[in-house]
């Protein structure tokens, strides 16, 4: 019941289904039962009328799944320390469903994973007790396409890809999702659906890496990369605008391409574009820390002992999500160099950290005035860039947020 599960549950509940949100996190479920949303895309005002009427919560997996007509899996699928898929949560969810699987049940996996997961991992788990996919129950992959903070494309308005392990499975999945989502896109197999999701985010990762490298080139050449991008974007065909920044964040773009490259390594294929894109994007926080160091040197100050304020720590503007945010890397790199790092973010009051939590500065004006250098990492709409520029002695802008002088 996180960034993916809660919006999806709300969409089906508003469509008139009786929805039960399962989660192992009792604190989340307690908040939902109070009608309090912890996901910015779902307001508490929208949530409250549903609680206890069409939307319920539970931590009892066996009892809930035993009576469910459909189970939609939205568990996290991170990478482990070796950058390989960590499917422990997915496996646990599959085992829970397998215990309660019954004839006629539809199982849909939405968690992003490598091609073949639904058919090669989940299907054998579910068929172990004798029921057969496409005959006794239905199994599909339908990739989540949640983009936190968007208002134009949300769960209900974003086309939904559905691929089944059999044609009958696909048809059942399409029939379900059409009840709550305006446009459903059937594909020939679960593998095609899995690959489509990885293509979407690998496409973005590679193009972001390209424009990040163009930014590095322009820096070497003394050219304004933002002017170059804006000029190129005037071409009405054959060009799609991407912008450079401090790196990539969120659950999808930094992680999903690794699922693809991991799978291809098992087939003795080297996904070179994916690996190069990751190398470039992963190196951007260090590049911008270098720019902070150069800027301080220009003021005859060392990074060590300087007060650096990070503006914005969410991975993109106007959301509270810090998963894989490049701001976290920038903060850590600056600390390693001895900088006294603080941050301000109107959407993120606290960052949980093993070495001690960080809290957003309560007084932005005071924090700006006290800083030896400010680095803009996330260009939230709430910031008054004109006012910030007037208050700051030294500023490094990774997002081209400052007004042109």
* pLDDT attached to residue 174: 98
Query: Is 83 a residue whose pLDDT tops 90?
Result: no
Q: Which of 93, 246, 74 is nearest to 146 (CA)?
A: 74
What's the chain's length in residues?
405
169 is catalytic: no
Dihedral of alpha carbons 244, 249, 255, 258, sign: positive
Asked if the model's pLDDT at residue 405 lies above 70, the reply is no
Q: Residue 300 in 3-state DSSP?
A: coil
Backbone angles phi, psi at 310, to 5 degrees: -95, 120
The residue ranges of every structural domain in the chain are: 5-191, 225-405
Percent of the chain with pLDDT over 90: 93
88-110 per-position pLDDT tens digit: 999 999 999 999 999 999 999 99
In the set 74, 169, 218, 252, the catalytic residue is 252
| Bridge-based pairing state of the strands 160-164 and 138-141 | antiparallel
Q: Is there a common fold for 5-191 and 225-405? A: yes
Tens of pLDDT, residues 322-355 = 999 999 999 999 999 999 999 999 999 999 877 7
Reported CATH class of domain 5-191:
alpha beta
pLDDT the model gives residue 132: 98
Q: So what's the architecture of 225-405 in CATH?
A: 3-Layer(aba) Sandwich (3.40)
pLDDT of residue 10: 98
Per-residue pLDDT tens over the stretch 144-200: 999 988 889 999 999 999 999 999 999 999 999 999 999 999 999 999 999 999 999
pTM given for the model: 0.92
């Amino acid at each position: 019941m996180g960034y993916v599960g809660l919006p999806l549950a709300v969409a089906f509940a508003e469509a008139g289904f009786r929805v039960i949100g399962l989660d192992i996190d009792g604190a989340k479920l307690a908040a939902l039962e109070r009608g309090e949303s912890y996901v910015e895309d779902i307001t508490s005002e929208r949530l409250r009328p549903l609680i206890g009427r069409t939307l319920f919560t539970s931590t009892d997996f066996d009892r809930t799944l035993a009576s469910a007509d459909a189970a939609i899996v939205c568990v996290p699928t991170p990478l482990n320390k070796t950058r390989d898929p960590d499917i422990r949560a997915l496996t646990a969810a599959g085992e829970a469903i397998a215990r309660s699987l019954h004839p006629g049940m539809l199982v849909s996996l939405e968690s992003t994973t490598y091609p073949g997961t639904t058919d090669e991992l989940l299907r054998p788990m579910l068929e172990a007790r004798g029921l057969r996919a496409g005959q006794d129950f239905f199994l599909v992959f339908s990739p989540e396409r949640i983009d936190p903070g968007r208002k134009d494309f949300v769960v209900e308005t974003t086309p939904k890809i559905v691929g089944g392990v059999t044609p009958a499975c696909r048809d059942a999945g399409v029939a379900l999702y059409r009840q709550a989502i305006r446009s459903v896109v059937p594909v020939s197999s679960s593998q095609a659906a899995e690959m489509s999701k990885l293509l979407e985010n690998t496409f973005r990762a590679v193009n972001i890496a390209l424009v990040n490298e163009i930014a590095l080139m322009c820096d070497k050449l003394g050219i304004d990369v933002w002017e170059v991008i804006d000029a190129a974007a005037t071409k009405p065909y054959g060009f799609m605008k991407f912008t450079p920044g401090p790196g990539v964040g969120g659950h999808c773009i930094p992680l999903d391409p690794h699922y693809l490259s991991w799978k291809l390594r098992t087939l003795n294929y080297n996904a070179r574009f994916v690996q190069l894109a990751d190398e470039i994007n992963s190196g951007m926080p260090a590049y911008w820390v270098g720019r902070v160091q150069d800027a301080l040197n220009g003021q005859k100050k060392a990074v060590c002992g300087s007060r650096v304020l990070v503006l914005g720590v969410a991975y993109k503007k106007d959301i509270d999500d810090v998963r894989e945010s490049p701001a976290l890397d920038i903060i850590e790199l600056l600390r390693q160099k001895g900088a006294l790092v603080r941050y301000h973010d109107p959407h993120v009051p606290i960052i949980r950290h093993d070495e001690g939590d960080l809290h957003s500065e309560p007084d932005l004006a005071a924090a700006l005035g006290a800083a030896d250098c400010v680095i803009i990492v996330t260009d939230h709409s709430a910031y008054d860039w004109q006012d910030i520029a007037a208050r700051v002695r030294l500023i490094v802008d990774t997002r081209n947020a400052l007004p042109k002088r």
